[in-house]
Amino acid sequence: MPLVAAGGLLTAARERRGAVAAFNVITLEHVEAVLEGAERAGVPVILQISENAVRYRRADPLPLARAATAAAEAAAVPAALHLDHVRDPELLRRAAEAGCSSVMVDASHLPYRDNLAACAAAARWARANGLWTEAELGVVGGKDGEPPPDPHHPEARTDPEAARAFTAASGVDALAVAIGSRHAMTTPVAALDHALLARLAERVPVPLVLHGSSGVPAAELAAAVRGGITKVNIGTALNVALTTGVRAALVGDTEVVDPRRWLADGRSAMAATAARLAALVHRPPPG
């Protein structure tokens, strides 16, 4: 089916008190695995391409975005395309051309005023072009090349009153919040601050987004969705599955040369991970 808008998926998820899994895709195998996983779970999904992934793909978002669009159009579940962690304003403005219906402005490392100015400008442009904007307030941290922050440091957390004011002043459609998760964790051991999430959900009128969800245990993720998280960003868990699957295939057959043989194992492992997490956040079990 044709690509759907990420905003519509998040609005619907909120109404049914569930969430949408947003998976970071780097290769075509990621795209295929995420769609296969979502089909297996029978739930909608968001495919997201980060600025880092764009850089890896010869600094052009179009080839992967076009492949993702074509694959999504052939899928049996609704899928949306999102441009993730964008710092380059030029890239931001290519989101629509790439088929993305939402963009995340990565400016929370800047002082509050500069983050606000960048997000307000992006939101104005995005709205005029029919796109949603996601901002981040607080420090999730742990992105490529960043020193690992302490996610439990109070200054890293999103302040509920600041989040309310920021959302109203910037006009963004969704807000990523720092409640104890961190990017690029390869094992799910993060503890979330559910009391803080409850205060954020009470004050912030737009859907809340959890970044660094690979590091969050399943029970914590389900509780976060029940507590008001509407978009669950997952990247590293797919990469762990891919690499583990490929490594096992290569170790198991040292003569193999056809990449389809070992890539397929990595892709199957990613599809299983995507199916499990997409189903979990779509309809979290009662706590």
Q: Pick from 30, 157, 182, 211 the residue near Zn ion by CB under 5 A.
A: 211
Binding mask 165-204 for Zn ion (x = CB under 5 A): ----------------------------------------
What minimum distance in Å lies between the beta carbon of 89 and ligand G3H?
A: 19
Residue whose beta carbon is closest to ligand G3H: 235
Q: Pick from 6, 21, 79, 85 the residue near ligand G3H by CB under 6 A.
A: 85
Residues in contact with ligand G3H, counted by CB under 6 A, come to a total of: 16
* Residue 203 buriedness (CB in 10 A; 0-12 / 13-18 / 19+): middle
150 annotated active-site:
no
Q: Does 231 bind Zn ion (CB under 5 A)?
A: no
Rounded to whole angstroms, the Cα distance separating 227 from 26 reads 30
What minimum distance in Å lies between the beta carbon of 159 and ligand G3H?
A: 20
243, 225, 130, 74: CA torsion to nearest 10? 50
What φ, ψ does residue 47 adopt, rounded to 5°? -95, 125
Nearer to ligand G3H, 188 or 250 (CB): 188
What φ, ψ does residue 147 adopt, rounded to 5°? -65, 145
Q: Does 199 bind ligand G3H (CB under 6 A)?
A: no
Which two three-digit tokens encode residue 213? 């969800």
What minimum distance in Å lies between the beta carbon of 84 and Zn ion?
A: 7
Rounded to whole angstroms, the Cα distance separating 10 from 213 reads 17
Q: Which stretch binds ligand G3H (CB under 6 A): 25-33, 160-168, 228-236, 279-287?
A: 228-236
Rounded to whole angstroms, the Cα distance separating 204 from 138 reads 14
What minimum distance in Å lies between the beta carbon of 53 and Zn ion?
A: 12
Answer whether 238's CB lies under 8 Å from 275's CB: no
Please give the sequence-ordered ranges of beta strands (E in DSSP) within 106-253, or none if there are none: 132-137, 174-177, 208-210, 229-234
Binding mask 232-271 for Zn ion (x = CB under 5 A): -x--------------------------------------
Rounded to whole angstroms, the Cα distance separating 97 from 192 reads 36
Q: Pick from 94, 157, 183, 267 the residue near ligand G3H by CB under 6 A.
A: 183
Binding residues (CB under 5 A) for Zn ion: these are 211, 233
Active site residues: 84
